Each structure stands twice: as structure tokens, then as C-alpha cells.
């Protein structure tokens, strides 16, 4: 955190130039108040980059629009009913919102919007004290009615009023508190944490989309582990992401196994480190992080205590992929994210057979083919999944995966393995075998693809010879019988 003096000097510089200065002058000339509010003020004191410029004012939406139109290149209605107008000034997007003093009915998180008449009143209705500070413009006066600066210095999250009232007004604030612990590295005040646990069931009135948004923002922070832990400790995870607390498997004195929950959190941390260090994905990558957190959620359903004190989780990869697909659909993630995460979970154990014996080139090709466009993410997840404290074992697995990646690179250079296709396309297959479009063409293509994976590129002439041999050796009869059965 920067010193207060440094932060005030930075804010003064920010307010004295560009869009902030233009807005301050325009609102002052129109006889209205204006203040930079919330996240930008908080982040200035924390020395964090300021990515949004949010303002609040006593002017109403029509008045805001009239003031900003002459000094902006574009204006748009973000939510007139909620008092918010946005504009683009000198290339910067800004949002200006009328003071609010909302009333909540506690059956939904949508308030009956009421415009307020003071900056202090507007700040006191906000979620946390560290977000309830404002810089009044153009006077550069810091307004902090709830002690946000003291909490900022202490690294504590607390609500401006009682947490019961704040979370009762908007239960989404409970998830925001958890996200801010990870994003800002803060702790939650004791009374606030207690209120989250006691009021966790009220999260049910929050839309799934908003829950999704907060969970995604949490996972995309630089260090989400503490936030996930608080999500579980508070009981909120049992409602919004129950597969994660379920990873806290019970064990007895005779059957010992790795702590699956703590292992999953470590895999998440290691995946984030790899995502950043390898530099081949845009960071933060939500798919990698979801897959890392959820990769073992099939274990509770597949846990078996075996003779000799061993524990097994047979097929937990397949079960976990199905559970992840179901949960992510319930949380309304997009189809591409759901497909990618579930595929990574399904494949995350595949590599461990590599250490049992050398893979053939065919097995390497299949690994690449099955991963498809998720190959880099699979590299990250598989490497991150090694959390053993046995240094020798960890080194062996790392060396083995280095070898696998090297073989993939070699084969890719030789064969363009990332786009493996049969040596003959559908048109060629139909011409050679005198077929019309149908099942037989698909079966022939599958046969050629298996050859391609097993033996590498064959060339058109050899592929044609092998196709004709396969077809005349019995495939034609099988296809004919299948066609006749379908007709019956």
C-alpha cells in the first residue's frame, strides 16, 4: 500500500488532467456535485492500477447527459432507471451515477431505486468500507464516513453498517467479500464472516448469472486459494459449488489417502503459476483454473477402501467430467467453457500411463488428437497435478512429461500432428469404393484415421491400396449387412 500522501498526490494528478478534469469542470460549471468513488479511490491508495473511472453526483440522469454531451465523443444509457449514464471522453470510458438511497424488499436483490441527496448517504449504502470512500471534485476532498481508510490500512473487509442489514439488502455482497479476500489480500472482519455463515442460504435469491460472475472473478484473481477456502469455510460453497467441499473426504486410521481438497487447491495454485510462466495462454485463463479446481470432483463418488489400507478412485476422471459438466451447466457457463473443462478433467489421468512404459508414436498421436485444441491446457493441468512431496518421484514425472512434450513437438514438425486427418478425404473414399454419402463412408474414414494414427502419413497411393484391401476383405459385407438390418 502506498502512503496516504503519495496516494493523494496521485489522485490530485489524476483529477487535474484528462477526462477527470473535464468532468469536474463541467459539473462544477453546471452547479452540481461530482466525486470519484469506490474502486478507483481504493486502488489508488493500494497502489493498484486504476482500470475504471466511476463517479457519483447529485445530478439526475437527464442532467448528467446534458452535462457530458458537449465534452464527450459518445454517450450511452447504462441503466437510466438506476441513475447511471456512461460516456467516452478523450478515449476513456466513464460512468456517472446519481446519489442513491435504495430500499430492498429482501425477496430479490433488486432494490426499489431511490435517488439520494448527499454523497455521505450514498457511500453508506455501499458494500464495504474500503469501497465507500470518495474524492470530491474539484476540491480533492477525501470523504470517508465509515472508516474505510483505517480498514484499508489494516487490510480488513467490513460493511459500513451492520453486516446483517448489508447482506440482507444484497446477498451477493457475501460472494463479493470472498472475492475481495483473494483480489486484495484482505481478511474479513469477524462479525462480517459470522454473518456470511449465518446468512448463506439467502444467496438463493441471487441470479445464477451473478453467482457465475463472482465465482469467475474469484478464480481469475492472482491468488484465489484463500477465497476458495473462505467459500468452503463459510458454507457458501455447499450452495453454489458443492462439489468442492465434498472433496474433504473422510478417512479412517486404516485407510490413508492424500487430502483431496488441499491437493486440489495446490493444483489450482500450480496451474496458475504454469499458466503465467509458460506464456502460451492469455492469463488469467478461466478454463485452466476451473479444470484445476474441479479435476478430482469424481473422487467422492468413486472412493473405495481396498485391502491392505489402500484407497482407490477408479474412473474418477470420467465421473468427474460428468459432474463438472452438470455443475457448470447449472451455473450457466457458456458451452465452450463447459466442453473444455469437462474434456480436460476426462483426460487429466491419461499421461500417467506414460511412466509405466514407453508410448508408441501412435499413442502420442492419440494423446494429441484427443486433447485437440485443449492440448496446452492439458499440459498445464497434468503438470500441476503432481503435488507429491517425494522429490525423486516429482522429478521423474516432470522429466517424463518433458519427454512427452518433446516427442509431440518432433512429431508435429514431421507430420503436422495438431491437424491429423486421414490420407484420403470423403470425396476420394466415395470415388475409390464407388459409394454414395452414408455410413460406409464414415466407417472407411475411421479406418483410415486409425491407420494414420498408428503409422503416420501413408500417402495417397498406399492409403488407396490399404483401403481397397480392407474393403474387399470383409468391410463391404459388414457394411451391407448393417444397411440391410437398418432397412428391416
Measured distance CA(409)–CA(404) in Å, rounded:
9
Give the 3-state secondary structure of residue 56: strand
Candidate from 136-145, 203-212, 366-375, 478-487 with smallest mean pLDDT = 478-487
Q: Which CATH class is domain 259-419?
A: mainly alpha
And the C-alpha cell for 296?
478430482
What is each CA distance from 57 to 349, 430, 435, in whole angstroms?
Answer: 56, 71, 73
Q: pLDDT for 391-436, tens place per residue?
A: 999 998 999 999 999 999 888 877 665 556 788 988 999 999 988 8
14-26 burial by CB neighbour count: b if 16+ within 10 A, else e?
bbeeebbbbbbeb
* 326 neighbors 297 (Cβ within 8 angstroms): no
166-180, 192-206, 377-391, 452-466, range with the lowest pLDDT: 452-466
- Mean local confidence (pLDDT), 29-57: 92
End-to-end Cα, the chain, rounded Å: 77
pLDDT confidence bin for 483, thresholds 50/70/90 = very low
Q: How far is CA 173 from CA 9, 51, 127, 195, 213, in A?
A: 31, 21, 6, 11, 12
Tell me the C-alpha distance between 245 and 228, whole Å. Answer: 10
13 pLDDT more than 60: yes
CA–CA distance, 256 with 61 (Å, rounded to integer): 63
Place domain 1-147 in its CATH homologous superfamily.
Beta Polymerase, domain 2 (3.30.460.10)
Q: Is 78 helix (H, G, I), strand (E, B) or coil?
A: strand
Cell numbers placing 240 = 453454489
Q: Is 413 left (phi over 0), alpha (psi -120 to 50) or beta?
A: alpha
Residue 97: enclosing H or E segment and its boundaries? strand 92-98
User: For residue 481, what pLDDT is reported?
Assistant: 47
pLDDT per position as a tens digit, 340-387: 999 999 999 999 878 666 788 888 988 998 999 999 999 999 999 999
> Which residues are paired to 97 by β-bridges?
56, 84
Q: Where do runs of H (alpha helix) occur along 281-315?
A: 286-294, 299-302
Kind of pairing, strands 304-306 and 34-37? Answer: unpaired
The confidence score (pLDDT) of residue 354 equals 81
Residue scoring higher pLDDT (254 or 194) = 194
What is the structure's pLDDT at 486? 41
Contacts of 395 (CB under 8 A, 6+ apart): none
The pLDDT of residue 108? 58
- DSSP alpha helix (H) spans, 185-285: 190-198, 208-219, 225-234, 237-240, 260-278
* 256 vs 243: CA distance, rounded Å: 21
The CB density around residue 13, as the number of other CB atoms within 10 Å, is: 11
What pLDDT does 366 receive? 87
Q: What is the rounded CA–CA span in Å between residue 109 and residue 322? A: 32
Q: Is 409 in contact with 415 (CB distance < 8 Å)?
A: no
Question: In the prediction, which pLDDT does 252 show?
Answer: 46
Collapse the DSSP code of 103 into the 3-class scheme (helix H, G, I; strand E, B; otherwise coil) and give the result. Answer: strand
Q: For residue 56, list its beta bridge partners.
A: 35, 97
pLDDT tens, residue by residue, 88-143 = 999 899 999 999 876 665 565 565 668 888 999 999 999 999 999 999 999 989 99
Q: Give the mean pLDDT of 195-200.
A: 97
Q: For domain 155-241, which architecture applies?
A: Orthogonal Bundle (1.10)
Sheet with 53-57, strands from edge to edge, namely: 74-79, 84-89, 92-98, 53-57, 34-37, 134-137, 141-143
Contacts of residue 410, Cβ cutoff 8 Å, sequence gap at least 6: none
The domain limits of the chain are 1-147, 155-241, 259-419, 426-483
pTM for this entry: 0.81
Handedness of CA 16, 21, 27, 29 (dihedral sign): positive
Read off the pLDDT of each residue in 18-23 and give the average, rounded to a whole number: 90
Identify the bridge partners of residue 305 per DSSP, sorted by sequence position.
311
Q: What is the pLDDT of residues 256-276, one digit of tens each?
A: 456 899 999 999 999 999 999
375-384 vs 335-347: helix axis angle to the nearest 10? Answer: 50
Q: Which residue has the cell 466525486?
A: 35
> pLDDT confidence of 255, banded at 50, 70, 90?
very low
Give residues with Cβ within 8 angstroms of 435, minimum separation 6: 429, 441, 444
What are the b/e assignments for 270-304, b being 16+ CB within 10 Å?
bbbebbeeeeeeeebbbbbbbbbbbbbbbbbebbe
Amino acid at each position: 500500500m502506498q502512503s496516504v500522501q503519495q496516494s493523494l498526490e496521485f489522485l490530485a494528478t489524476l483529477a487535474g488532467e484528462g477526462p477527470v478534469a473535464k468532468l469536474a469542470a463541467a459539473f462544477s460549471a453546471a452547479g452540481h456535485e461530482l466525486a470519484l468513488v469506490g474502486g478507483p479511490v481504493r486502488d489508488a491508495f493500494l497502489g493498484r492500477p486504476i482500470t475504471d473511472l466511476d463517479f457519483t453526483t447529485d445530478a439526475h440522469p437527464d442532467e448528467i447527459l446534458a452535462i457530458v454531451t458537449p465534452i464527450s465523443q459518445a454517450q450511452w444509457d447504462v441503466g437510466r432507471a438506476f441513475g447511471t449514464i456512461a460516456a467516452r471522453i478523450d478515449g476513456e470510458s466513464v460512468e456517472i451515477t446519481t446519489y442513491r438511497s435504495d430500499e430492498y424488499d429482501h425477496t430479490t436483490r433488486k432494490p426499489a431505486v431511490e435517488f439520494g441527496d448527499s454523497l455521505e448517504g450514498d457511500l453508506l449504502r455501499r458494500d464495504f468500507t474500503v469501497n465507500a470512500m470518495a474524492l470530491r471534485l474539484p476540491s480533492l476532498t477525501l470523504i470517508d464516513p465509515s472508516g474505510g481508510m483505517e480498514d484499508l490500512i489494516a487490510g480488513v473487509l467490513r460493511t459500513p453498517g451492520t453486516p446483517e442489514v448489508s447482506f440482507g439488502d444484497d446477498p451477493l455482497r457475501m460472494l463479493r467479500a470472498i472475492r475481495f479476500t483473494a483480489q486484495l489480500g484482505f481478511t474479513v472482519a469477524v462479525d462480517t464472516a459470522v454473518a456470511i455463515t449465518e446468512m448463506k442460504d439467502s444467496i438463493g435469491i441471487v441470479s445464477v448469472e451473478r453467482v457465475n460472475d463472482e465465482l469467475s472473478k474469484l478464480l481469475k484473481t492472482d491468488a484465489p486459494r484463500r477465497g476458495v477456502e473462505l467459500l468452503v469455510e463459510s458454507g457458501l460453497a455447499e450452495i453454489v459449488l458443492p462439489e468442492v467441499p465434498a472433496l474433504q473426504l473422510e478417512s479412517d486410521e486404516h485407510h490413508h489417502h492424500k487430502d483431496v481438497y488441499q491437493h486440489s487447491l495446490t493444483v489450482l495454485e500450480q496451474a496458475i503459476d504454469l499458466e503465467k510462466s509458460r506464456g502460451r495462454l492469455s492469463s488469467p485463463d478461466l478454463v485452466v483454473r476451473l479444470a484445476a479446481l474441479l479435476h478430482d470432483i469424481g473422487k467422492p463418488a468413486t472412493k473405495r477402501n481396498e485391502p491392505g489400507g489402500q484407497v482407490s478412485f477408479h474412473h474418477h476422471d470420467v465421473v468427474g467430467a460428468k459432474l463438472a459438466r452438470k455443475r457448470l451447466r447449472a451455473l450457466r457457463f457458456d458451452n465452450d467453457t463447459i466442453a473444455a473443462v469437462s474434456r480436460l478433467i476426462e483426460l487429466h489421468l491419461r499421461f500417467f500411463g506414460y511412466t509405466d512404459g514407453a508410448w508408441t508414436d501412435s499413442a502420442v498421436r492419440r494423446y494429441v488428437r484427443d486433447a485437440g485444441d485443449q492440448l496446452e491446457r492439458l499440459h498445464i493441468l497434468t503438470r500441476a497435478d503432481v503435488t507429491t512431496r517425494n522429490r525423486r518421484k516429482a522429478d521423474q514425472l516432470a522429466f517424463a512429461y518433458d519427454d512427452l512434450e518433446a516427442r509431440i513437438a518432433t512429431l508435429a514438425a514431421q507430420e503436422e500432428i495438431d491437424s491429423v486427418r486421414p490420407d484420403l478425404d470423403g470425396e476420394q473414399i466415395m470415388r475409390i469404393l464407388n459409394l454414395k454419402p452414408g455410413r460406409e463412408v464414415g466407417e472407411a474414414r475411421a479406418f483410415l484415421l486409425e491407420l494414420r494414427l498408428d503409422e503416420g502419413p501413408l500417402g495417397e497411393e498406399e492409403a488407396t491400396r490399404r483401403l481397397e484391401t480392407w474393403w474387399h476383405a470383409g468391410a463391404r459385407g459388414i457394411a451391407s449387412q448393417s444397411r440391410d438390418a437398418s432397412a428391416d
